Structure 1
Amino acid sequence: MSQVTGHKLKIGIIGCGNMGTALVENLAKTVGPGRIIVFDRETAKQESLIKGFKVGGAASAFELIEKSDIVIIAVKPQDIDNILDLLKGCRDKLVVSIAAGKTLEYLASKIGAEVPIVRAMPNLNALVQASTTGSSINLSVLPLQKKAVEEIFDSIGTVVPIDENLMNAFTAICGSGPAFVAYVMTDLTTEQIRDVFVQEALAFGFQRSAAETMAQKTIEGTLKILRLNFDRDVFIKKVCSKGGTTEAGIKVLEQKGKTAEALSLAVRAAARRAEELSRG
């Protein structure tokens, strides 16, 4: 039996940006809108989701946390501390963070290691249910909770459970990868891009099966989203955030060209930037 649909768990989502919206849209279909609660500081964003998908809303992050069994934090990294302050010692909540660069250790230092915490990294292909999401858990997450999280992210694509020490590398390939695919696809074949991603993943320490899944799903998801009339340049800009991992890789491609070697260097640059961000 599904751990999400089989138990009447309430899922709260804080943050209604691209990822938050993708999760709301797809979870409303899989578990039902009555089980979803949303909150965003921008009232217009929140109201749009409530009206569009018939989900519940909360007047504050505190109210959402009170009403939820699973709390998904989908805010920007610089905004996460205010949310974490509200979750201190909440052992009865499963906390899922998709904030880039915020490690399990950091999250636990804010809310307590006894709280079940999941760190997840979806990508923008979630907009067409084709995300490749990496997930890492702390020691307080129970097997049924782990299963519930996998089902949540299955609603927007494929889940790859990984050791957290590989999360920065995962971010470079699967988080930033869609923008890299969109950038080089005019000059490189799908097979060439896949080979680069697989080789870089292996070099980072992933097992071959995981490396191949990450590469294949990231490419497939990107091609799917671009086929749905998503302008290539607009998509790249949407994946990029100022000072982020994707921007670091795209700068390399702009300097070095659209070659397999340049793509390898872009992935490595993105991984280095992810490492820098995780160190603060």
Structure 2
Amino acid sequence: MKAPPFAYVRPAALDDVLAELAGGDAKVLAGGQSLVPVLAMRLGRPATLVDINAVAELQGFETVDGGALRIGAAVRQRTVERAAETRAVPLIGMAMPFVGHRELRSRGTVVGSLAHADPAAELPAVAACLDATIEVAGPAGRRRIPAGEFFAGAMTTGAGPQDVVVSVEFPAARPGEGFGFGEIARRHGDFALAGVAAVVRVGGDGAVAQARLTGFGISDRPVTRDVTEVLREPDLRAATTELASEVVDTAGDAHGSTGYRRRLFGVLATRELEKALRRARKEVA
């Protein structure tokens, strides 16, 4: 199918973008890898597309205070994937090869994936696991939203219809931290049937100090839990199986039942937590 008719504007300043969004039924266009299929299937019919790629402020990709990585709304996923600066946030580098295909990542944006908020997408899970900060601009000014509060449901976020997501800020890895990321999909590049992102921090003696785990493809949004005590359990597989029964609540479909996704989550959680722990201990060895 073809998209329904729409007007197209390409402002050069963020204030002009906000003015266009305030004027009525408009949608932001950055990479278009999520929006264009929605239009083609006529699941959305905005009157105006507001292309933000000419806004210089949204092209920012830089290291900021404390080594955190700030990514502007128009920065391509492929740029982030290949940049040396991304090494400061290892979990992004682990997740990025799973995001669609290389050709899609050359157009798709990191912030666009967060704003789209597909519950089976990889980058929202990374943002939730690392407790990234998402900056939103709108009629009431700018505000910074923790990723744990930003994702409100399937394709639903804390950004309103007249807002634009300006950037995301990922905290840099700290000494003694290790990371894990894994997913199961029908084919490489497909959305995950189930996936996990993990971060584990250890003390100087190698003992677990803190662990966080985020599941995706298992609910209507990324689900994050403090799993410090889970990782300390002598039978980690049994502990993650119990955790799966709590966090996996997505309905079954043609590709996998709820029970199947719980089994996938349990296996992935065990594997990636163990990997993250080994990597963290290597950091302090």
TM-score over 0.5 for the alignment? no
**Structure number with larger C-alpha Rg:** 2
Report which of the two has the higher share of helix. Answer: 1
More strand by share: 2
Please state which band the TM-score falls in when normalised by the shorter chain: 0.3 to 0.5
